[in-house]
Structure 1
Amino acid sequence: MTKPFYGMLLLLTLTLTTAWAQQQIPSPKEHFGFNIGDDYQLANYTQTEAYFKKLAASNRTKLVDIGLTEEGRHQYMLIVSAPENMQQLEKYKTISQQLAHAEGLTDDQAKALAATGKAVVWIDGGLHATEVVGSHQLIESMYQLVTRTDEETMNILQNVIILFTHANPDGQELVANWYMRTEDPKKRAMNIPRLYEKYVGHDNNRDFYMMNMKESQNIGRQLFVEWIPQIMYNHHQRGPAGSVLAGPPYRDPFNYVFDPLIVTSIDAVGAAMNNRLNAENKPGYTQRGGSQFSTWWNGGLRTAPYFHNMIGLLTEIIGGPTPETVPLAPERLIPNGATPNPVVPQEWHFRQSIDYSVSLNYAVLDYAAKYKSTLLYNIYHMGKNAIDRGNEDHWTFYPRFVDSIRTAAAAAKKDSAKKEESGGDLSLGKEDTIVNTYFATYFKNPAYRDARAYVIPADQEDFPTAVKFINALSRAGVTIHKATADFTIAGKHYPGGSYVVKTAQAFRPHVLDMFEPQDHPNDFQYPGGPPIRPYDAAGWTLAFQMGVKFDRILDGVNVPLTQLPYGQIESPLGNTIAIAKKGYLLNPGQNNVFIAVNDLLNAGIKVSRMASGAFYVPVSSKSTALLTKAANEWGVTVAPVDVIPAGLKPVSPARIAIWNTYGGSIPAGWMQWLMEQYHYKYTMIYSQEIDKGELRKKYDIILFATGAIPDTGKPKRDSYWFGKLPKPEELSAEFKPWLGRITADTSVPQLKKFLEAGGSIVTIGTSTNLAYHLKLPVKNALIDPKTKKTLSGAKLYIPGSLLIADVDTTAAENAGMHAKTDVYFDRSPVFNVSGDVKKLMWYSTATPLHSGWAWGQSYLKDGVAAFVAPIGSGKLYAFGPEITFRGQSHGTFKLLFNQLYK
């Protein structure tokens, strides 16, 4: 037989094998019993997981278990590509990693790798589980890419490796089962009783630089450590009223630290998506100013990739299993650059949204197939740019520097005009010459240079929390070095074990974003008008939030270091303890000390506190064993003492209740998660139980996260995240007690009785409204002195930013805190207090902003951020800032922890 015959035989065998394998794949209808997108039909995760496993029978696929969810389900990623590519996945993953890291490559080598490699595209669904289009388009898209044989699909499979990833298995199971539980299809609703991620619900899309949740960690490892795709596509809903969906490109501002290629690449892929829908006569795509979505913020599933040189895509589409109507929005009917192909009002069905989503996926994949070498080379090019900037003197153009130029130039021009009037002969020339003169002053000033590296000393007080910060960076794929010996930089000594994070690395934008303050521009609808709300936060610098001590290094670092493997999770330095004669002291300045204290108390070991706030533990074999474990596993510093300290006050575990509500409170969910991380025991409490009274018999302290306590104005309509609350008769006995809200006439009197009987209440954010209900000598500090009304957004606007607050370090409530701390301020309350109300934190300057955007911040000067007030035998604690914000603000956790003992 001739070689050509063998070749033809092999091709025929492969074709027949592929055809046979494809015949084994059931259609969604054959598996689920309905077509994906049929009205009133949803698939749950149990059914979907089983279907993934059937799709895995194809030679185009590989099913990867990327980890367990918070509820213990398996989270899957289905890799799809041509059979020959599937045989070489490790090769293509390595090429993707090499180009993304851009280390040790020449441009020619990068071009060769780009020509050899395959574009890697991430497509996810289901992150926000009530946005059911996402999880269901994932099923339909997988099926089509696994079974179709048309030319476009085959070209995509040949040139692209697709990572189809389910973002929230737990949520799909809950939402689908809840919706489908009602027999009458037309009565089915999404009004689920609890959060669709065990702890944080919707905030699972706010966790992608911290990665506290298991699902975030699973996803982050694939995105930032394993595959590092060139494009990632995050499906969401809802679209803006009067449109079908919002998609890329997005509105300004974009973040100053990432590469400009990110912005133009988003534009390019967005154009391909919009074009495809228009070519298929699918109207209703809006972009840029047509929606609220920008590229400023880090932390979302599609935004964190920008800081890793990936093209992050987000679409927000309408639709669901219950048919709906596209509403009339007259301003969207006229075609413009934001909405070039408007949609008219009409009835809308679930399948239409699925078809749109599949078309959008194909648009992205077709683009990736056509430009795969360009995408691969560009991610290298952006990484190389980042490395080059980190190796040389570089200045980032922040608005604060531009504003300084304008101010200085205007002052000089005014001064020049005065001198000319008095006969002087000074001339600064043309306006652009003035700007050029000041350019060097601000943008070539060595003091304003970007850092070359950041050093995190191992001898800082709360080093275990600093290690948690390092782990957040490591989970994000950041290159991290660790000192193998003591070293000195710029005359400062650092101990071995300190961490060094260099900015000469591909993910430099993410590094800068985690260490440097964000400088959000002033963004108003028009001069003097209302502010434009950021998509999420305006400032979030993680090192500031966590209270991590670090030094900015402006020159190169040439000291003995070892590079950690990408993604490696570090543990605090394993401390040892010396056996004491009398007892041990624990420093409340370390957050992990509270884990040790709770473990001791739960084991029945006596614990006391000194006036300084330090914890004292008497020597025993049991206490020594537990503290040895805490020192070794949690990095807790344990100091032996030979004399029993004076003035000890015993502490015991408090009976803690955390307020929650039907549908779930996200801030309360974060608090629940935090309690578990630090080994506190707690009970969830709902308004119906509060209204019944007798609270002091069961609880010592009640925690109210923001959003629990209404203001003192007129009662507002009972709102709910997903629409209408169910009627009690529609719920089982398990969920009926969850209905209801905190009210002024019924709930507040019971809370007052609880306080008077010796209970404590901690309120955060808007829940500090309780102080007004209780008629304490507390007033709103943010009142316009002219109108006597709350300051308007045009005068004061501080959305999601970090401010520096002063702390009363002599107060027992603030034990372990420093005199200055970063607090997360999100249009938070600020107070004036009098009488026996004791202030705990306040804003001492007219410029407390540290990171973000604070228009009109001078109004905060001398305002109180936190206070404690006695009420009968109990205490009310009020914290205006979000002291437990999204499990990120480690620097203020102690403000809660200190109050959780009796």
Structure 2
Amino acid sequence: MPKFPDINMQKRIVILFLAVLIVASAISTVAQTEEKFNFYARGPYRSEVPRPQSILRYDVGDHHTTYAQMEKVIDEIARAASDRVRIFDIGLTPEYRMMRLVAISSPENILRLEEIKSKVSQLTDPRKTSAAQAQAIARDTPAIAWMAYTIHGNESSSFEAMMQVVYQLAASVEPATIDILKNTVVLIVTGENPDGHERFATWYNSVAIGDADRNAIEHREPWSIFGRLNHYRFNLNRDTLAVTQAETRNMMQAFMEWNPQVAVDHHGQPSQYFFPPVSLPINPNLPQPMYNKWLEIYGRANAAAFDSNKWDYYVRDVFDAFYPGYWDMYPSLNGAIGMTYETDGGGFKGLRWTRDDGTIVTFRSSIAKHFVASMTTLEQTAANREARLRDYYEFRSRAMSDAAKSPLKRVVILPQGDKYKAAELIEILSWMRIEVKVATAPFTSKTAHDYLEKNSPPRTKTFPAGSYVIDLNQPQRILIKAILEQDTPQDKAFVDDNIARFKRNQMRGKNQQREEYGFYDITAWSLPLAFGVESYWTEDTTEINGSLVTKEAISASKQGSVSGRAKIAYVIPYTTDTTGAFVARLLQKGFRVAVSTRQLNAGGKNWPAGTFVIRISRNPDSIHETVAQYAKDLGVDVTAVDSGFADDGDTGVGGESVLSLRSPRIAVIADEGIDPESYGSIWWTFDRFGVKFTPITIAAARSGALKNFNVLIIPDGNPGRYFSAFGSSGINILKDWASSGGTIITARGASVFAALKDVGLTSSRLVGSEDDEQKSNVSSKSDSKEEKIIPAPSPLPKPAESTELKSDRSDIVFPLLPPIASPSASAYKIPEPLPGAFMRATVDRTSYLNYGVEANELPVLLASGYFFRISKEGGNPLIFDPDPKHPLTVSGFVWEGNTEPLLAGTAYLIDEPTGNGHVVLFAEDPFFRGLTRSTTRQFLNALIFNGVL
């Protein structure tokens, strides 16, 4: 009997097919609705001004524009609209692209830009400008709006939106645009990160087909491209604190020249558009209620504009205003209203991206949202011009009047420990127009507090001549306090909420998902602590003899000297970090340098162990000129010695304890799975010191490349990735190479990899891990009771896929989860990840890794849950004091009953001898963001003493 079709089945298939068509149509409608945005609805436009698309030859959102193409667009618009537009070059990037600032305003304002700039500048110093004068300036002067785009180079929507904003302001004659031009001077940074954007845009254009599937190659940016970061793989939206990068300095100089009243940084990462108001915590140095008032004004205006377009958005949520190194916080701490705007497309989402509900977000729609938010912000600034200028003046006026109420009245920085590093810190302050004096005579404070002691009692201390003095009773008081104060408290409600999450997490089983914490970034950053320079804050302002530090004086203090042309030897005391770089450069140039491992007597003077000796007889004649040049470049003081005779002690320049060093031939792992910012910080450090290195892949290291090197640096990265990429054979290669005389230096995640029992590059183990043999022991610092045994999840995830991120600030600086827990470990015995806190480390000054270090303690930043047991077989040059009477926390948030009890007695720095070589482990990244420099000397020592000590 023939089989007939199942009619019911056919009906079901038809219904299913129709349902699919309906859903597909709905999805298409969503995308189509977004595509309908008209960028040219705000006319009429001046016909002589060309539209960007007429120059580029493609429509908005169809292609990623390169930097050169963008420059052509801006140049042609500026030429056609010269009555409204001026272009200023503000400096080169590391890859020699010129950064530009475009000023747009009414023809009348354009002709008096210098006058406007001068008037607004008068509002920055209430010592010179009275309230009445400020009111007059506010009545008659345009406000200045700083609009910056694409600080993260692969957040590409803002780059395209910027060109549309420039065109709108330059060409439109609609009343709202004319009002903006009349009441504001709009400053547009056409590209904050040109090099990163160029890497991303050229790569994306070369592979993209506009596929919305998340698995498409165009959504998977290679490690070597990662255009979010700049040339040196720095996150420029964290750099306004340390001011390490050329792009930051270029923008900061322009920002301080123009003194804007509003500043917007345009980004693009989250699932929906974000604009302020912000969430907790809010930096307590920002003046309230003024700050929140203006965020509310701008936020509600943007909300109205987005509502009218039926666009999704959110406020608060994950975006806080706490860490002062963002490009919204730096303007805010200078009196502007700084804001971050985040669009929902472009970047790794490409031309089209499938959302989690199946709808599609397009490149064009995300550009449109930035365009609307930019124009709305400018409209609000124009409408509130006078009020914004008045509050801008009030920001500094009130700051100075409040100075007397604060205990923190002065910061004193001593350059004696490292004159070059102290001068670098002062140079940063000078970029920010912070007034610094240098004392020409000793002075005394009766209320001095040591930066290395949290909540230290006031003490009497006499400071020597040459000390740097920063009094807070000056116009930049709010900024000074935000970046220099020892510790910045967070909102109590925010802290209480996170402690409650912590307690709930302790009650969760191993298979239950843990709550994430609300910390967006590090909670400690004080520059004196980050740089590791001896510093104090005082409650008094004793009269001092001194003068304001100038840029010329800073430059002079960074220069070194040579006492003469040596006949026998040059002697170089290890008094600055740059001394280590000086030695490394000489060695890499083929010159011969030695180090004294005992106290040295030369030139009628005693020098400490760790002093360097350059013997003339063992070097070519060019050594004299090279020493003079390097000393000048790196701020190193060199003493010429004309006799080898030791007047005192056992060791002279020719003694047996003066050991010859070998040239560091350095390889740095650069590969998938490695934190690009960690690699970049090493790259930048070596470049600024003039030290040569070779980036290599893990495959190359496994394939014999290590024979060409004697130092291997493994940056922070995914420990699991390292374990799988090296494999058992690669791990054995590392062991054999180190045993034969090589030095391996690891940072953070790479140190976790080295400490795994199955790797065995060190006898140290991670606290609370399965390999931790001391997991049953708890430091005496703990007063916690036995809790339920809860194994913690693994910190060794697979490499992250391209997915929607909650925010642009997605470069998590601490692991979200603790180490792999032992089943027998109580919850409180597992370190909870730290959101960036400074802790006190004790220095073993007998270790060669601490040569040149005179301090007994150093501040080190911890931003993870990676705590390392002390090495049983090697040295522990930096440890955390196990004595419960010696508090470890200096600054930042820590977990009470967890952090200090588990950190006590562990090591920050480990030296593991193996055969003829060493493995040197840093618990954290020693050059985090170029900000932390307290352990630079230890890092350099691992290089220059490799294979000798």
Please give the TM-score of this superposition, normalised by the length of structure 1.
Answer: 0.81
Partner AA of 2:278 in structure 1: Y
CA displacement 1:582-620 (0-9 Å, x = unmatched): 323223231111232234334433210111222112248
Rounded to whole Å, the distance in 1 between the matches of 2:533 and 2:483 is 11
Give aligned pairs, total: 773
Rounded to whole Å, the distance in 1 between the matches of 2:527 and 2:314 is 33
Q: Tell me the residue number matched to 1:651.
A: 661
1:465 is matched with which residue: 412, 421, 426? 421
Q: Tell me the residue number matched to 2:735.
A: 752
Matches within 5 A, 1:609-758: 609-611=595-597, 612-619=609-616, 622-641=622-641, 642-643=643-644, 644-645=652-653, 646=655, 647-662=657-672, 665-692=676-703, 694-707=704-717, 709-710=719-720, 742-758=725-741
CA change 1:814–1:782 in 2 (3 A) is: farther
Does residue 257 (structure 1) correspond to residue 257 (structure 2)? The answer is no
Asked whether the equivalents of residues 248 and 288 of structure 1 are also in contact (C-alpha less than 8 Å), the reply is yes
Partner AA of 2:874 in structure 1: V
CA change 1:632–1:20 in 2 (3 A) is: farther
CA change 1:854–1:615 in 2 (3 A) is: same
Does residue 158 (structure 1) correspond to residue 182 (structure 2)? The answer is yes
Rounded to whole Å, the distance in 1 between the matches of 2:437 and 2:138 is 28
User: How far 1:631 sits from its partner (Å)?
Assistant: 4.3
Matches within 5 A, 1:116-131: 116-131=140-155
User: How far 1:184 sits from its partner (Å)?
Assistant: 4.3
1:839 is matched with which residue: 876, 898, 904? 876
Partner AA of 2:668 in structure 1: I
User: How far 1:173 sits from its partner (Å)?
Assistant: 1.9
Q: 2:395 aligns to what SS in structure 1?
A: helix
Does residue 812 (structure 1) correspond to residue 848 (structure 2)? The answer is yes
Q: Tell me the residue number matched to 1:503.
A: 472
Does residue 899 (structure 1) correspond to residue 942 (structure 2)? The answer is yes
Does residue 863 (structure 1) correspond to residue 900 (structure 2)? The answer is no
Partner AA of 2:754 in structure 1: L
Rounded to whole Å, the distance in 2 between the matches of 1:599 and 1:864 is 30
Rounded to whole Å, the distance in 2 between the matches of 1:145 and 1:848 is 55
CA change 1:235–1:373 in 2 (3 A) is: same
User: How far 1:140 sits from its partner (Å)?
Assistant: 1.2
1:366 is matched with which residue: 379, 393, 406? 379
Rounded to whole Å, the distance in 2 between the matches of 1:498 and 1:837 is 39
CA change 1:264–1:200 in 2 (3 A) is: farther
CA displacement 1:374-428 (0-9 Å, x = unmatched): 11111111111222233x2x23xxxxxxxxxxxxxxxxxxxxxxxxxxxxxxxxx
Asked whether the equivalents of residues 833 and 866 of structure 2 are also in contact (C-alpha less than 8 Å), the reply is no
CA change 1:707–1:76 in 2 (3 A) is: same
Q: Tell me the residue number matched to 1:170.
A: 195
CA change 1:594–1:20 in 2 (3 A) is: farther
Does residue 228 (structure 1) correspond to residue 259 (structure 2)? The answer is yes
Does residue 455 (structure 1) correspond to residue 481 (structure 2)? The answer is no
Rounded to whole Å, the distance in 1 between the matches of 2:398 and 2:917 is 59
Partner AA of 1:453 in structure 2: R
User: How far 1:566 sits from its partner (Å)?
Assistant: 8.7
Partner AA of 2:846 in structure 1: T
CA displacement 1:133-159 (0-9 Å, x = unmatched): 111111111111111111100000100
Q: Tell me the residue number matched to 1:888.
A: 931
Q: Tell me the residue number matched to 2:345.
A: 319
Q: Tell me the residue number matched to 2:497.
A: 524
CA change 1:622–1:755 in 2 (3 A) is: same
Rounded to whole Å, the distance in 2 between the matches of 1:183 and 1:534 is 35
Rounded to whole Å, the distance in 2 between the matches of 1:614 and 1:218 is 38
1:514 is matched with which residue: 478, 483, 502? 483
Partner AA of 2:473 in structure 1: A
Rounded to whole Å, the distance in 2 between the matches of 1:564 and 1:586 is 28
CA change 1:27–1:843 in 2 (3 A) is: same
CA displacement 1:796-850 (0-9 Å, x = unmatched): 3411121111121100022122220011111152222454222121111553111
CA displacement 1:48-100 (0-9 Å, x = unmatched): 01111112211111111110001111111111111110111111112222213
Q: 1:360 aligns to what SS in structure 2?
A: helix
Q: Tell me the residue number matched to 1:44.
A: 66
Asked whether the equivalents of residues 536 and 800 of structure 1 are also in contact (C-alpha less than 8 Å), the reply is yes
CA change 1:157–1:507 in 2 (3 A) is: same
Please give the TM-score of this superposition, normalised by the length of structure 2.
Answer: 0.77
CA displacement 1:249-274 (0-9 Å, x = unmatched): 11111112222222332232222222
1:384 is matched with which residue: 397, 401, 420? 397
CA change 1:687–1:367 in 2 (3 A) is: same
User: How far 1:119 sits from its partner (Å)?
Assistant: 0.9
Partner AA of 1:256 in structure 2: P
CA change 1:512–1:782 in 2 (3 A) is: farther
Q: Tell me the residue number matched to 1:474.
A: 430
Asked whether the equivalents of residues 767 and 867 of structure 2 are also in contact (C-alpha less than 8 Å), the reply is yes
1:287 is matched with which residue: 305, 308, 315? 315
Rounded to whole Å, the distance in 2 between the matches of 1:553 and 1:895 is 30
Percent of pairs with identical residues: 23
Asked whether the equivalents of residues 590 and 636 of structure 1 are also in contact (C-alpha less than 8 Å), the reply is yes
User: How far 1:898 sits from its partner (Å)?
Assistant: 0.3
CA change 1:113–1:561 in 2 (3 A) is: farther
Deviates more, 1:247-256 or 1:259-268: 259-268
User: How far 1:779 sits from its partner (Å)?
Assistant: 2.1
- For structure 2, list consecutive stretches of 5 or more residues without a partner in the other structure: 1-42, 446-459, 506-515, 598-608, 645-651, 770-774, 777-785, 792-820
Asked whether the equivalents of residues 95 and 231 of structure 2 are also in contact (C-alpha less than 8 Å), the reply is no
**What RMSD, in angstroms, separates the aligned Cα atoms of the two structures?**
2.7
Q: 2:311 aligns to what SS in structure 1?
A: coil
Q: 2:300 aligns to what SS in structure 1?
A: helix
Rounded to whole Å, the distance in 2 between the matches of 1:634 and 1:894 is 14
Does residue 25 (structure 1) correspond to residue 49 (structure 2)? The answer is yes
Asked whether the equivalents of residues 232 and 683 of structure 2 are also in contact (C-alpha less than 8 Å), the reply is no
CA displacement 1:868-899 (0-9 Å, x = unmatched): 21233321111102211111222111111001
CA displacement 1:701-730 (0-9 Å, x = unmatched): 110111154279xx8xxxxxxxxxxxxxxx
2:862 is matched with which residue: 817, 821, 825? 825
Matches within 5 A, 1:73-472: 73-165=97-189, 166-182=191-207, 184-186=209-211, 189-190=218-219, 191-192=221-222, 193-196=224-227, 197-201=229-233, 203-223=235-255, 225-239=256-270, 241=271, 244-260=272-288, 261-278=290-307, 280-289=308-317, 292-320=318-346, 321-328=350-357, 346-390=359-403, 392=404, 394-395=405-406, 449-450=407-408, 452-458=409-415, 460-472=416-428
Partner AA of 1:673 in structure 2: W
Deviates more, 1:346-355 or 1:186-195: 186-195
CA change 1:708–1:585 in 2 (3 A) is: farther
User: How far 1:861 sits from its partner (Å)?
Assistant: 1.0
CA displacement 1:266-308 (0-9 Å, x = unmatched): 2322222222212x2333111123xx11011111111222222
Asked whether the equivalents of residues 831 and 867 of structure 2 are also in contact (C-alpha less than 8 Å), the reply is no
Q: 1:649 aligns to what SS in structure 2?
A: strand
User: How far 1:117 sits from its partner (Å)?
Assistant: 1.6
CA displacement 1:746-787 (0-9 Å, x = unmatched): 532322232233211100101112232433432222467563
Asked whether the equivalents of residues 200 and 667 of structure 1 are also in contact (C-alpha less than 8 Å), the reply is no
Q: Tell me the residue number matched to 2:40.
A: none
Does residue 56 (structure 1) correspond to residue 87 (structure 2)? The answer is no
Rounded to whole Å, the distance in 1 between the matches of 2:217 and 2:49 is 31
Rounded to whole Å, the distance in 1 between the matches of 2:125 and 2:909 is 45
Rounded to whole Å, the distance in 1 between the matches of 2:706 and 2:889 is 40
User: How far 1:640 sits from its partner (Å)?
Assistant: 4.2
Q: 2:473 aligns to what SS in structure 1?
A: coil
- For structure 1, list consecutive stretches of 5 or more residues without a partner in the other structure: 1-18, 329-344, 396-448, 716-740
Rounded to whole Å, the distance in 2 between the matches of 1:696 and 1:179 is 34
Deviates more, 1:202-211 or 1:768-777: 768-777
